[in-house]
A and B are shown apart, each in its own frame.
Chain A
């Protein structure tokens, strides 16, 4: 297990380096530059700005300088948010994304798991058909449709919650619900499928024949294997929740990191794009690692073969 984690950590470092390099050259070789939108800018001023940000140097020299400053924990100076360090922008906005994402994951698991398990156990009853029809609808309602609907109902009609912004302690509820519900739909389908597969196994029949009570069969013999597909989905789900924040933050106008990333892309804010991309990549890699460890813990076969 330790060897597995160590090799994965090494691989993660390589991935991050690759992301850094690819992003750096992709944004720099693309047309447009951060100062292009300020019309009629004096060429001398522009030159001076480029000198200040070190844009006049050789690209590979620049990328090496950026990389070594990342190594020191310095993410550079934002080009559009004047005078702001990227590190500070991230520190200010990332907690918002994190709270919403974590809450969304809790919502997804808290609704998806029980719904899927109950649907599998009560197969072909209304406890199966009802939640699974809802799940299918949930899969086909993307967050940018679900969000406005929730806003219209809870924000505009019943005036229970704020429709946008990040002012009150309840403002995370709607964004988290929007994102969490669509993942709850996926998770419930995966949980149901996995549970059904295990419930048809011989050893479950044996347990039943020996008179083990139904709830004990579920808890002791079915859950661990039956929920493997859900565990395998955790990595992609966490990734989706992270990048899904772009859309959620736009719908609810939250001051999160996703908003900064999207506007940085629009404005060609080179340093901020790089910093946010590397941060997202690091996050994804870390979460994939956690998901893999959970899978290995749940499934001894994976542990032995790796």
Chain B
């Protein structure tokens, strides 16, 4: 009796269930590229947030004696007041490139995060509504998405940021909000399609039928039973939207439409660097390195998540 009990107990222990999330987490951890991507990405984020506090320079402080100084050689310039080194050199106005790159990183990462959240919010609620309600409403809503897909969205982002930028700057003090809104407003389309396809297949399943016959209100069914089940694809697609959004912001800033000086983002810094490529290689190299590394990590993390959560790209 005692012997059998002691035999049974450990087997009980070992067959304890694993949730699908734990399964996915284990798969993700085995993917070395994805883990490396996430680790490096967190490093970049931490450095961008905390770095400027430990540096003796302000991002806007100019030192006209130290214009376009190559990395690490500031103290060799005669007549400098400071003994501290500009590790990444200075830009053409004598501002420290390292602190500007980190500050610009904060802005770029924030745009990536917030614009993605905006897109997420619109896309998920729109797609979930269409998929849940179904019928004519769904057909109409999705037709609208089809039409919006055919629009030249880059042009609308440019028009939005250019036309509303001044207004928002006067009203809210910073034109960056337009960039959030404009990018979020065009990036939600794919998300809504993915969510709608998922919701549509979920609505027909028995557990939703059961919830409905128990008399649960629609919003509760959506919130408790449907949304948790579409979380996987949403997370994956959101991870892959962040680099796309950051690319869009950098492109806008490169054109002079996104972040306005004296503010910086990786896009504006790359623009500065591209102008000075002939004389000062570091002004392009370092911001571009940070930017590309971030995109690299986000793409690897997104691919890894997709494999781990076993999400197929949504097909209509």
Residues of A within 8 A of B (CB): 11-12, 14-15, 18-19, 22-23, 26-27, 30-32, 136-137, 139-142, 144-145, 147-149, 151-152, 156, 239, 242-243, 246-247, 250-251, 261-262, 265-266, 273, 277, 280-281, 284-285, 288
Contact = CB atoms under 8 A, between A and B. Distances in A.
Given A30-B167, A265-B158, A281 B292 contact: no
Given A31-B166, A31-B167, A243 B155 contact: yes
A26 B256 CA distance: 20
Contacts of B78: none
Contacts of A27: 159, 163
B147 interface: yes
Contact of B247 (A142, A239, A262, A281): A142
Interface string B284-302: 1000100111011001000
Interface in B267-281: 267, 270-271, 273-274, 277-278, 281
Given A23-B159, A144-B254, A145-B270, A285 B296 contact: no
10 contacts: A22-B156, A26-B160, A30-B167, A31-B167, A139-B299, A140-B295, A250-B254, A265-B158, A273-B159, A284-B150
Contact of B163 (A15, A32, A247, A280): A32
Interface of B: 147, 150-152, 154-156, 158-160, 162-164, 166-167, 243, 247, 250-251, 254-257, 267, 270-271, 273-274, 277-278, 281, 284, 288, 291-293, 295-296, 299
Nearest to A282: B152
A261 B278 CA distance: 28
Contacts of A152: 277-278, 281
Given A32-B163, A144-B271, A243-B154, 8 more contacts: A15-B147, A19-B151, A23-B159, A142-B250, A239-B152, A261-B155, A265-B158, A284-B150
A17 B16 CA distance: 61
Contacts of A26: 159-160, 163
A145 B247 CA distance: 11
A13 to B, nearest CB: 12
Contacts of A156: 277-278
Of listed B271, B277, B284, residue having the most chain A CB within 10 A: B277
Contacts, number: 111
A14 B148 CA distance: 11
Contacts of A284: 150-152
Contacts of B166: 31-32
A144 B266 CA distance: 11
A141 B292 contact: yes
B151 A281 contact: yes
Given A140-B296, A144-B270, A145-B291, A281 B158 contact: no
B306 to A, nearest CB: 12
A18 B143 CA distance: 14
A52 to B, nearest CB: 23
A242 B295 contact: no
A281 B255 CA distance: 20
A262 B154 CA distance: 11
Contacts of B155: 243, 261, 277, 280-281
Contacts of A247: 251, 254-255
B254 A136 contact: no
A145 B296 contact: no
A137 to B, nearest CB: 8
A182 B227 CA distance: 35
A240 B267 CA distance: 18
Given A140-B299, A148-B284, A246 B159 contact: no
B163 A144 contact: no
Contacts of A261: 155, 158
A288 B284 contact: no
B270 A151 contact: no
Contact of A140 (B251, B254, B292): B292
Contacts of B251: 142, 144, 246-247
A147 B292 CA distance: 14
